[in-house]
Amino acid sequence: MEKKHQINVWYAVAAVFLLLTFQSWWTAYKTIEPIPYSQFEQYLKDRKIAEIAIKDNTIEGKFREPQDGKEYFITTRVDLPLAEQLTQYDVKFTGVIQSTFLRDLLSWIIPVLFFFGLWMFFIRRIAEKQGFGGMMTVGKSKAKVYVERDIKVSFKDVAGVDEAKRELQELVDFLQDPENYGRLGARVPKGILLVGPPGTGKTLLARAVAGEAGVAFFSISGSEFVEMFVGVGAARVRDLFEQARKAAPAIIFIDELDALGRARGANPMIANDEKEQTLNQLLAELDGFDPSVGIILLAATNRPEILDPALLRAGRFDRQVLVDRPDRSGRRAILDVHVKKIKLAPGTDLDQVAQITAGFSGADLATLVNEAALLATRADAKAVNLSHFTEAVERVVAGLEKRSRVLNDKERRTVAHHEMGHALVAANLTGVDPVHKVSIIPRGVGALGYTMQRPTEDRFLLTTEDLEHRMTVLMGGRAAEQLMFGEISTGASDDIERATEIAREMVMRYGMDDKLGNRVYAAPRQSFLNQPMGDVTDASQETAREIDLAVKERVEAAFRRAVDILTQHRKELEAGAALLLKQEVLTADDFPAIRPQTRRAAAE
């Protein structure tokens, strides 16, 4: 119900209290004089009482003439043969049946009203948290509205996505000066879709646009449109655009658009008319509003492939802006933004931090800086230095150290040779990322040790040789176990899985097998978040068998190459494993044999 039509319970409670106050005031206004019963009898004898009213516990009456300025009196009733005395002294008297209706009524109505009000209060609080807020308000938009002074984010707070910022700068120019921007007949895009993996700064970019333009910012998640009631989502879409028209110029930002804009009819086994009605209303609003009034629609998703094609056609979301993971220079720019909030030690080389964080998103880098600051605080350091960043990278990538996980001597020797096998194979292959650190300290859920490599540059193209070398490095741990102990363990399970994945990619997606030819056998990649290989498509059973054999042969070939390399460097393997067992952590400075061949040759 609308507020103006609601019957507020507190009004009734206030009225009852006013009534009681008036009654008390009226009683006091009568100026009743309380007197003892003995005094009452004396007044009777003196014939000063004109009339009385006898109640259950009291006797009220009126004097013939005011006594001490009082016209009325009251006294406590005492059960005595009173009637004869009243008649004897010529006093008019009567019996009064005292009404207890109001007292009885208030004795139960006030508690009822109190508990009813308490119940209504909690029901409304629960309803608001569940997204209802009253039966007549379910169709209201739940968008959070930020006015100009609420937006503290600008483009200088967003780093590592310069191309996306240049695309969105047009929106700011249009919102600040729409007449000049359209002087040549150009119009701003109706909708802009920010596409990219999670944590790359899509929401931050949208808020930066609003902060730069200084306009109202309506922010809502795609999942907040849909409720259990049919038609609620469509009503909320209408209300959202109506609010934006009233506040124009404004920016509407819909986060996680895939929750609202999933392709209709994609799964015929699942029917949800409510979601389709909501999407239809959004499409209608996109067709109906004129961007020249100063309303810009932004949306973000990391799954653009599942969006309805009608949503992405020209005239609706007619521009897509990729917000990808940053490259090395972008990571450095992002680190520069986040280290402003911490105390950084002089001389800390953030280029090295950017170098060892390949593949990190903006959110990952923010977490990394915070972890480094926490580690420095825990170590009682005066500032955050490079060692804290390195340890934070290890913690983010490999997990928390598990020094309480005690291994027996045989397991420690196996892990030490396993990790040294990875490091030596990487050091003796060209085009492989150099080894940064080798450790046999258990981390995370199941990692008993790890070998960290530091990329020298971001790679966007990989050759057949590059992929084969990566597989060889992965198989180096198992090759070392086989070479030194004559048996293998379960420690290489993750290595084998990753090597098999690379081999399948080479055979099924990249066309790098001579027998199977230049053809793709894998299903298309599904999303930024998950990129499953999928089943073999459009291939016979014989071809599927050939694919399995080709994958197996490539993994086995990588294993044989790793064995050959470690056989040639068996002395370094034994010495490195012994030193690793002693120190638990090694770098290239501690054991030069794990330094890449080219660098060793240059040093010599």
Domain for residue 83, yes or no? Answer: yes
Q: How confident is the model at residue 129 (pLDDT cuts 50, 70, 90)?
A: low
Domain for residue 341, yes or no? Answer: yes
Domain for residue 116, yes or no? Answer: no
Contact between 475 and 499 under an 8 Å Cβ cutoff? The reply is yes
CA distances in angstroms from 75 to 31, 41, 46, 59, listed in the order given: 14, 10, 17, 5
Note whether 194 and 179 are same-domain residues.
yes
Instruction: Quote the pLDDT of residue 584.
Output: 86
pLDDT at 141 over 80: no
Q: Which range among 130-134, 343-347, 386-390, 550-554 has the greatest average pLDDT?
A: 550-554
The 3-state secondary structure of 481-510, one letter per residue: HHHHHCCCCHHHHHHHHHHHHHHHHHHHCC
Which tops the pLDDT comparison, 63 or 469?
A: 469
Q: How confident is the model at residue 320 (pLDDT cuts 50, 70, 90)?
A: confident
Pick the last residue of a domain from 346, 373, 398: 398
Pick the last residue of a domain from 354, 373, 398: 398
For residue 53, give its domain range: 3-101
What is the Cα–Cα distance from 240 to 225, expressed in whole angstroms? 10
Q: Which of 167, 419, 481, 572 is catalytic?
A: 419
What is the Cα–Cα distance from 227 to 236, expressed in whole angstroms? 10
Note whether 377 and 453 are same-domain residues.
no
| Domain harbouring 23, CATH code | 3.30.720.210
pLDDT at 603 over 50: no
pLDDT at 117 over 60: yes
Q: Which range among 42-51, 89-98, 331-340 has the greatest average pLDDT?
A: 331-340
What is the Cα–Cα distance from 51 to 46, expressed in whole angstroms? 14
Annotated binding-site residues read 196-203, 418, 422, 495
What is the Cα–Cα distance from 391 to 393, expressed in whole angstroms? 5
Least confidently predicted of 210-214, 328-332, 552-556:
210-214
Rounded to the nearest integer, the mean pLDDT of the chain is: 78
Q: How confident is the model at residue 108 (pLDDT cuts 50, 70, 90)?
A: low
Domain for residue 111, yes or no? Answer: no
Note whether 388 and 523 are same-domain residues.
no
Note whether 318 and 354 are same-domain residues.
no
Nearest-Å Rg of the Cα atoms of the chain is 41
What is the Cα–Cα distance from 401 to 576, expressed in whole angstroms? 22
Domain for residue 117, yes or no? Answer: no
Domain for residue 379, yes or no? Answer: yes
Residue 337 CB-density burial (10 A; 0-12 exposed, 13-18 middle, 19+ buried): middle
pLDDT at 371 over 80: yes
What is the Cα–Cα distance from 214 to 194, expressed in whole angstroms? 20
Note whether 414 and 381 are same-domain residues.
no
Mean pLDDT, range 316-333, rounded to an integer: 86
The structural domain count of the chain equals: 4
Note whether 217 and 158 are same-domain residues.
yes
Annotated binding-site residues for Zn(2+) read 418, 422, 495
Calculate the CA 500 to chain-centre distance. 34
> At which residue do the structure tokens 């690379």 appear?
502
Contact between 537 and 581 under an 8 Å Cβ cutoff? The reply is no
419 is catalytic: yes
Domain for residue 31, yes or no? Answer: yes
pLDDT at 130 over 60: no
Phi, psi of 116 (to 5 degrees): -65, -45
Note whether 453 and 374 are same-domain residues.
no
User: For 234-258, what is each residue's pLDDT tens digit?
Assistant: 788 888 888 888 887 788 888 888 8
| Domain harbouring 159, CATH code | 3.40.50.300
Note whether 525 and 415 are same-domain residues.
yes
Length of the chain measured in residues: 604
Pick the last residue of a domain from 295, 322, 349: 322
Per the DSSP assignment, residues forming a β-bridge with 95 are: 54
Note whether 484 and 501 are same-domain residues.
yes
Q: Which helix (H) or strand (E) covers residue 598, if one does?
A: helix 597-603
| 297 DSSP assignment | E
pLDDT at 139 over 50: no
Domain for residue 121, yes or no? Answer: no
pLDDT at 198 over 90: no
Angle at 165 between CA 162 and CA 166, to 5 degrees: 90
What is the Cα–Cα distance from 120 to 124, expressed in whole angstroms? 6
Angle at 585 between CA 580 and CA 590, to 5 degrees: 75
Note whether 185 and 75 are same-domain residues.
no
Q: How confident is the model at residue 79 (pLDDT cuts 50, 70, 90)?
A: low
User: For 390-433, what is each residue's pLDDT tens digit?
Assistant: 888 888 777 766 666 677 888 889 999 999 999 999 999 988 88
**Residue 345: what residue type?**
A
Which tops the pLDDT comparison, 274 or 198?
A: 198
Note whether 296 and 337 are same-domain residues.
no
Instruction: Quote the pLDDT of residue 601.
Output: 47
Mean pLDDT, range 120-136, rounded to an integer: 57
Mean pLDDT, range 535-545, rounded to an integer: 75
Note whether 66 and 215 are same-domain residues.
no
Q: How confident is the model at residue 467 (pLDDT cuts 50, 70, 90)?
A: very high
Does the bond joining 249 to the residue before it have cis omega, within 30 degrees of 0?
yes
